[in-house]
A and B are shown apart, each in its own frame.
Chain A
Amino acid sequence: MDQTLAIETHHLRKVFGDKVAVQDLTLDVRQGEVFGFLGPNGAGKTTSVKMLLNLVAPTSGKGQLLGKPLGDVTARACVGFLPEHFRFHDWLNASEFLHLHGQLYGMSDAQRQERVSKLLDLVGLAPHSDKKLRSFSKGMLQRIGLAQALLNEPQLVFLDEPTSGLDPVGRRLVRDIIRDLKSQGATVFLNSHLLSEVEITCDRVAFIKHGQVIRQAALQTLVEGQTAVELRVGNLSPHIVAGLARWGEDVRADSDHVHLTVADESALPQIARWIMEQGGSLYAMTPQKLALEDLFLQVVGTDGGL
C-alpha cells in the first residue's frame, strides 16, 4: 500500500483580520485510518478543515492532501466532503442532486448511473429518490449529503459532524459506512462532538485548542493506563481513603463510595488487600475504562470552550 500520508500539515495558520483562528496546525493522517478531530467550540476545527479543502486560504504554512499540495484540483477528485451545516439546492430531487454532484466530480454517465442507485440504497433513501430535497427531514438530508460525499469512491472523506441530526439507526448507518470505507482502504477524517461515536470508530485522534494541536495519539494509547475504579466499602475510615493515594489519583470519597483513577490494573488487588487489612469491608470494586469524555475534559480543560 502506498505510504503517502493522506493528510500532512506543517504549521498551517489562519488569521482573520486580527483574530487568530488557527495558530499552528501540524498533524498527519495516515492512509486507511479513521482520524478523529476533537476540540471545544471555537478551537479552529472548522477553519482547519476549510484550509485543507481549499475553502479558505492559509495565512501561512504548508499542507498536503493525498500527496499533492493544498488547493490542487486533481486531488479533490478523490476527496469526499460532508459539511457541518450542509445546505443543498433543495429544488432538486434526491436522484438529480446526486447526478449533479456526480457531474461535478467529472464522472461519466455510466459511472453515475451505477453509483447513484447504489448509494441511494446504501443510505436507505431509494424510495425517496424522486422527492425534492426541500421535503427531506434533517436526518434524510444528512444521509443524502453522506451519499454525495461517497459518489466518486473517494480515498479520503471529510465528515464534519456527520451524526448530529441522526437517530440511533442513522448513527449506526454512519458507523457502518465508516467501517466499510476503512476496510476498502479509504481514510476518514472525522470532526465530531459525539465522543462516544469517536470512541467507537476512530483509530487516532487529535485534540485542538485555541487553534493548536495539543495532543495527537492513537486512541488506544490515550485511554490505556487510565482506569477509573468505583469502590463500595463498609467501615470506611479517613485513614483508608488517605492510603489509597498510593495507587491512584483523584481520590474522592463520600459515605461508603470511593472513586479513584489508577494507572494500571495491577493496583486493583493491592487496593483490595489494603482495604481489608485496614478493617474495611469491600462490597464492590468496579473498574471502568476512562471515557473519552473525561479524557477530553482533562486534556482540553473546562475553560476551553467559547
Chain B
Amino acid sequence: MIWEDILITRSVSEREIATAMAAVFNIDQNRVMAIPGIPDYDGEVPDEIGILCEHRPVTGDFVLHLSIYLRDDALERYAEAHEIGILVGQLCQIWSSAALMSDDSIDPYSWLLVRGPDDIQSVQIDSEILDDDDAWVLASVPEAAGAHPSMD
C-alpha cells in the first residue's frame, strides 16, 4: 500500500533514504529500497523489501518528492499504530530537512509543513506558482515551533 507522498527540502541520497526509513520503522536497512520514480526504473524489487521509496525531483521550496510504499502487513500495522506526522517528523530530523505532507482537507493547496515530530503546521501552497510553473512554493512560512531545520 502507499503510505504517504511527501516533498522534502533536502536532496537526500538513496542510502540516506534507506537509513532513515529503517530507523523510523525499526527494520533492517536491507529491507528498504529507494529507486527513481516510475517510469525511470523498471528493475525488480526483491520480496524481502518491506519499504519501497520512489524519489523524483521537484522544484520550488522542495527538491524531492518521495512516494513511500509499505510492502508487508507488519509494517502497515506499525504505521497505523503511529501518527503519520510524528513518523515524518522523525524522518525530517534525521535528514535535517523539512517536509510537506497531506492534511485532511480536500483543498489541493492546503498541506502540513513538518519540521520535526513536534513542529507540524498548516500551510498554503502558492497556487499560481504551482499551476503556472509546476513549482511547490509556500505562500508563507510559519514560525518554527522548535529548533528545527529552516526553509532556507
A and B, one complex?
A: no
Interface set of A (CB-CB < 8 Å, partner B): none
